[in-house]
């Protein structure tokens, strides 16, 4: 085993005092202690170094797609960022190269054992033409958590943010300078080792591609409907549902097709006999309702218990709600909500609104949820496509993303 892997393993093992044999009740706590991100600093091998960046510009620049014809994740910019890692040398010199195919041995471990993780983030053009990222440090931290969970290398988040900035600046002509438009960025890490043996990859590739995207709701909000899903299970305690791994996505597509065949855009993943509301697969879920006992208005979302993705938008909605809604009389809570509790609130007229939260749409209002053969009405009037809180959140977050409001979450390139 190479010295880098040994160093990572040693760092991992420092958190173990004794073999992991514990009652199930403390499994989650133990898990958190066992599997935290390992700082790359633990290694003496080369770290990710932006000063070593080389840039090879394309000789065949693409024509821009008309803004109105942009489809999410279909067209890409002229260039990509590409950084190789090997267990022997650490991170190689970063390269910006023309957007191009990856050439990989058919035995590369990414094809067989899903050694792959990714991030979703966006670059925005503000009114002064400056390009901004939104909370990139959160994406970098999460990518490190994801990669270390599947024995892929970690990296210096600030260094990768800088390198992503170089790619975005080089390809900034692809960012339409209209509100709602942005450049979707997809940092991805894959294991490239050529072997069918199952073990920690000895080589990896970190690449970033960029795709110009239009507003999620080009003609204004359009509320979606969800199918509460219990026959398939997205994530579980002690699993990897809180990491942004490829492994969490392919298995959700068939249930999504099932839901679609019955007229529902997405699955609302329930968990356990209690049928706790977890998340929507590509979004976290927020519920605004009045407390059954006190009538207190509450904005509630599932807690980070290991079964839901630690959404950056989720975190932003929570922070803004605590800062700006609590003074207006709202309570904000991260707690488990049973689907039956939500259905009861709807029946009793206590459900105010429900919305998803994610990078693609910021917020996505929900009209109804199919549950046990019933349709739970989520509080929107018939002629209404978004509730007040969802609308407010979208405006607040978009204002920060596009630099209308100066805020530490906005990162000017």
| Shortest Å distance, C-beta 254 to its own copies | 5
Query: Which span sits near its own copies by CB under 8 A: 26-34, 41-49, 135-143, 296-304?
Result: 26-34
Where in 351-390 is the site for its own copies (CB under 8 A)? Answer: 370-373
- Measured from the CB atom, is 82 or 161 closer to its own copies? 82
Query: Which span sits near its own copies by CB under 8 A: 103-111, 170-178, 293-301, 330-338?
Result: 103-111
Is position 114 an interface residue for its own copies (rule: CB under 8 A)?
yes
Is position 218 an interface residue for its own copies (rule: CB under 8 A)?
no
Work out which of 231, 328, 329, 408 binds its own copies, going by CB under 8 A.
231
CA 210/CA 76 separation, integer angstroms: 6
- Measured from the CB atom, is 113 or 411 closer to its own copies? 113
- Give the containing element (helix H, strand E) for 268: strand 266-271
182 forms beta bridges with 213
- Measured from the CB atom, is 192 or 410 closer to its own copies? 192
Count, residues in the chain: 413
> What are the C-alpha distances in Å from 231 to residues 180, 255, 279, 339, 344?
36, 9, 15, 14, 22
CA 296/CA 63 separation, integer angstroms: 54
- Measured from the CB atom, is 126 or 258 closer to its own copies? 258
Q: Shortest CA distance to 208 belongs to which of 242, 179, 171?
A: 171
| Shortest Å distance, C-beta 111 to its own copies | 6
CA 290/CA 323 separation, integer angstroms: 19
| Shortest Å distance, C-beta 161 to its own copies | 20
Total residues contacting its own copies (rule CB under 8 A)? 93
| Shortest Å distance, C-beta 216 to its own copies | 12
- Measured from the CB atom, is 253 or 326 closer to its own copies? 253
DSSP 108: B
Dihedral sign (CA 116, 73, 175, 321): negative
Q: How would you label 107-130 residue by residue, b for 16+ Cβ within 10 Å and e otherwise?
A: ebbbeebbbbbbbbbbbbbeeeee
Is position 230 an interface residue for its own copies (rule: CB under 8 A)?
yes
CA 74/CA 88 separation, integer angstroms: 36
Is position 24 an interface residue for its own copies (rule: CB under 8 A)?
yes
- Measured from the CB atom, is 171 or 275 closer to its own copies? 275
Work out which of 47, 50, 215, 237 binds its own copies, going by CB under 8 A.
237
| Shortest Å distance, C-beta 41 to its own copies | 19
Q: Are 167 and 160 in contact (CB under 8 A)?
A: no
Where in 140-159 is the site for its own copies (CB under 8 A)? Answer: 148-151
Where in 308-337 is the site for its own copies (CB under 8 A)? Answer: none
Q: How many CA atoms lie within 13 A of 157 on its CB side?
A: 17
Where in 239-298 is the site for its own copies (CB under 8 A)? Answer: 239-240, 245-254, 256-258, 261-262, 272-273, 275, 281-282
Is position 191 an interface residue for its own copies (rule: CB under 8 A)?
yes
Work out which of 91, 118, 134, 221 binds its own copies, going by CB under 8 A.
118
CA 155/CA 175 separation, integer angstroms: 27
Q: Are 273 and 290 in contact (CB under 8 A)?
A: no
| Shortest Å distance, C-beta 129 to its own copies | 26
Is position 101 an interface residue for its own copies (rule: CB under 8 A)?
yes
Is position 220 an interface residue for its own copies (rule: CB under 8 A)?
no
| Shortest Å distance, C-beta 268 to its own copies | 12
Q: Are 144 and 157 in contact (CB under 8 A)?
A: yes
Q: How many CA atoms lie within 13 A of 297 on its CB side?
A: 12
Is position 106 an interface residue for its own copies (rule: CB under 8 A)?
yes
Q: Shortest CA distance to 151 belongs to which of 240, 214, 44, 63?
A: 240
| Shortest Å distance, C-beta 147 to its own copies | 10
């Amino acid at each position: 085993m190479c010295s880098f892997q040994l160093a990572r393993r040693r760092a991992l093992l420092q958190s173990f005092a004794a073999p992991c044999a514990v009652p199930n009740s403390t499994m989650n706590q133990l898990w958190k202690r066992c599997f935290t991100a390992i700082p790359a600093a633990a290694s003496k091998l080369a770290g990710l170094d932006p000063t070593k960046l080389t840039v090879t510009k394309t000789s065949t620049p693409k024509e821009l797609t008309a803004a109105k014809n942009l489809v999410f994740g279909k067209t890409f910019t002229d260039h990509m960022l590409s950084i190789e890692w090997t267990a022997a040398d650490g991170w190689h010199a970063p390269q910006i190269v023309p957007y191009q195919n990856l050439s990989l041995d058919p035995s590369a471990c990414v094809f067989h054992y899903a050694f792959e993780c990714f991030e979703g983030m966006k670059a925005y053009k503000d009114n002064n033409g400056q390009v901004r990222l939104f909370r990139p440090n959160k994406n970098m931290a999460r990518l490190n958590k994801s990669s270390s969970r599947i024995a892929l290398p970690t990296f210096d988040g600030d260094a990768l943010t800088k390198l992503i900035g170089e790619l975005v600046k080089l390809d900034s002509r692809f960012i339409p300078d209209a509100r709602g438009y942005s450049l979707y960025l997809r940092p991805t890490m894959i294991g490239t080792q050529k072997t069918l043996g199952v073990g920690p990859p000895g080589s990896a590739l970190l690449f970033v591609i960029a795709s110009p995207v239009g507003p999620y709701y080009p003609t204004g909000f359009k509320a979606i409907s969800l199918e509460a899903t219990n026959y398939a299970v997205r994530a579980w305690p002690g699993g990897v549902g809180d990491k942004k791994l490829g492994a969490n996505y392919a298995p959700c597509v068939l249930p999504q097709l099932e839901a679609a065949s019955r007229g529902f855009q997405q699955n609302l993943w329930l968990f356990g006999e209690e049928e706790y509301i977890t998340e929507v697969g590509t979004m976290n879920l927020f519920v605004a309702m009045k407390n059954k006992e006190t009538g207190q208005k509450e904005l509630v979302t599932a807690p980070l218990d290991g079964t839901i993705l630690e959404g950056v938008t989720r975190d932003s909605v929570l922070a803004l709600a605590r800062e700006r809604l609590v003074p207006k009389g709202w309570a904000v809570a991260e707690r488990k909500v049973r689907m039956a509790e939500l259905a009861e609130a709807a029946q009793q007229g206590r459900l105010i609104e429900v919305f998803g939260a994610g990078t693609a749409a910021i917020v996505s209002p929900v009209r109804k949820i199919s549950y046990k053969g019933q349709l739970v009405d989520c509080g929107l009037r018939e002629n209404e496509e978004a509730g007040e809180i969802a609308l407010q959140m979208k405006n607040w977050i978009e204002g920060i993303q596009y630099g209308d409001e100066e805020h530490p979450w906005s990162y000017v390139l």
